[in-house]
Amino acid sequence: MADRPKRILLIVGGGIAAYKSCELVRLIRKGGGEVTCVLTEGGAKFVTPMTLAALSEKPVHTTLWDLKNEAEMGHIQLSREADLVVVCPATADLLAKMAAGVADDLATTLLLATDKPVLAVPAMNVRMWQHAATRRNVARLRGDGVTVMEPDEGPMACGEFGPGRLPEPEVVHAAIMRFVSADPLEGQPDFADDRHRGLHGRHVLVTAGPTHEPIDPVRYIANRSSGKQGFAIAAAAAEAGARVTLVAGPVHLDTPPGVDRVDVESAREMLAAVEAALPADVAIMVAAVADWRAADAAGQKIKKDGSGTVPPLALAENPDILATLARSKQRPALLVGFAAETENVIDHATAKRARKGADWIVANDVSGDVMGGDANSVHIVTASGSESWPAMAKHKVARALVDRIAKDIAK
């Protein structure tokens, strides 16, 4: 059975960052989710119910005292039919009320009545965020099981600088997706630490997918790479706060939220796009680049001449993008390659690491149905040896790898 769309109840608090909630609604819809908006009185000073209703294509709720609505849909129901309640922006005032259990308007009543997970995305002036009262409220909310994201750091609308800015809507959306797609056996993802922001301010370059090497205008050499693992890594790096450039070969996949995508066809185009994207702090070369291309691609379709003679197909070697990057003056501080192997996986990956000049090689055993499948079984080969990870879904491999990268570059 196809999954039903995820339902988000979005409470928009009264801060200047409320305008970003409009983009968040758009991203949730684009990602296939449903969103019902609740505007606080303050929120309605910054965005109108009309805007949110148009974007969400659902009525927007603003007041507890709407009798007609109460008859049709009580606030208890509104708070419980969602999969996740998101408070964005969560102002200092709203966090304080949530922590104290105040229920004096529709938003706070819903928050007290809900039996669903709550994700709060704070945005406020840096002094307000750092104030002991707010620290206390955030700690209390986290103790109560509310997930409170860390705000971004940077220049603020009020002219000050520091933590307190609302994370970009793509980052909030990625956190929501991580929440609603969390494995029930693993419990909710943990955003209370700074793990999800571990690549903030870093540029991560990812290659993904196969390359197509033309033989003539209608034929090409290709391979079975789906691009799923590389796209999952790009998504995980963006969730971790990185600026991500994803150089993608021909694949049928949507661009993950918050990722800059450059589409290419051939290995030589991929190399040019990678070089154009430098400098980068980290490069993760996941693409299954074709080793060879047709030496002389024909300008016109090659025709059968009726004699039964097979046209010769001479091959030329493609540039090795990973090895080129390893030798480059702009070599990223951490260079990660992948190795698709069918036998002697760790030995081959260890040799490949040395040959190509990568820091790490993520070796996957492609003897099963890894290519195109959703799961992956990998070994990480570094200067200090190798470790084998259990078979996991590709998005979990992506998150684990990104966590490891974030820890490594923080050293």
CA distance 397 to 181: 15
Candidate residues 66, 83, 263, 291; the one interacting with ligand CTP per rule CB under 6 A: 291
Nearest CB to ligand CTP, comparing residues 173 and 356: 356
Nearest CB to ligand CTP, comparing residues 137 and 207: 207
Q: Is 269 in the site for ligand CTP (CB under 6 A)?
A: no
Q: Taking a C-beta distance cutoff of 8 angstroms, is the pair 237, 336 a contact? A: no
Cβ-based neighbour number of residue 300 at 10 Å: 8
Q: Is 337 in the site for ligand CTP (CB under 6 A)?
A: yes
Binding to ligand CTP in span 180-219, by CB under 6 A: 207
Candidate residues 88, 119, 289, 378; the one interacting with ligand CTP per rule CB under 6 A: 289
CA distance 332 to 357: 12
Amino acid letter for position 200:
H
- Strands 375-376 vs 392-393: parallel, antiparallel or unpaired: antiparallel
Q: Is 234 in the site for ligand CTP (CB under 6 A)?
A: no
Q: How far is the CB of 213 from ligand CTP (least distance, A)?
A: 11
Q: Which stretch binds ligand CTP (CB under 6 A): 115-123, 185-193, 282-290, 298-306?
A: 282-290
Q: Which stretch binds ligand CTP (CB under 6 A): 22-30, 75-83, 172-180, 319-327?
A: 319-327
Nearest CB to ligand CTP, comparing residues 18 and 366: 366
Q: Is 285 in the site for ligand CTP (CB under 6 A)?
A: yes
Q: Taking a C-beta distance cutoff of 8 angstroms, is the pair 272, 194 a contact? A: no
Tokens standing for residue 253: 């996949």
Asked about 158 being catalytic, the answer comes back as yes
Q: Which stretch binds ligand CTP (CB under 6 A): 53-61, 82-90, 307-315, 334-342?
A: 334-342
Write the CA distances from 241 to 175, 198, 237, integer angstroms. Answer: 11, 7, 7
Tokens standing for residue 203: 């540029």
CA distance 288 to 283: 15
CA distance 230 to 283: 11
Q: Is 321 in the site for ligand CTP (CB under 6 A)?
A: yes
DSSP state of 303: P
CA distance 155 to 148: 21
Q: Is 171 in the site for ligand CTP (CB under 6 A)?
A: no
Q: Is 397 in the site for ligand CTP (CB under 6 A)?
A: no
Candidate residues 267, 282, 283, 405; the one interacting with ligand CTP per rule CB under 6 A: 267
Tokens standing for residue 164: 């307190």
CA distance 201 to 102: 37
Q: Which stretch binds ligand CTP (CB under 6 A): 117-125, 196-204, 234-242, 320-328?
A: 320-328
Residues near ligand CTP (CB under 6 A): 207, 267, 285, 287-289, 291, 318, 320-322, 337-340, 352, 356
Which positions are catalytic? Answer: 158
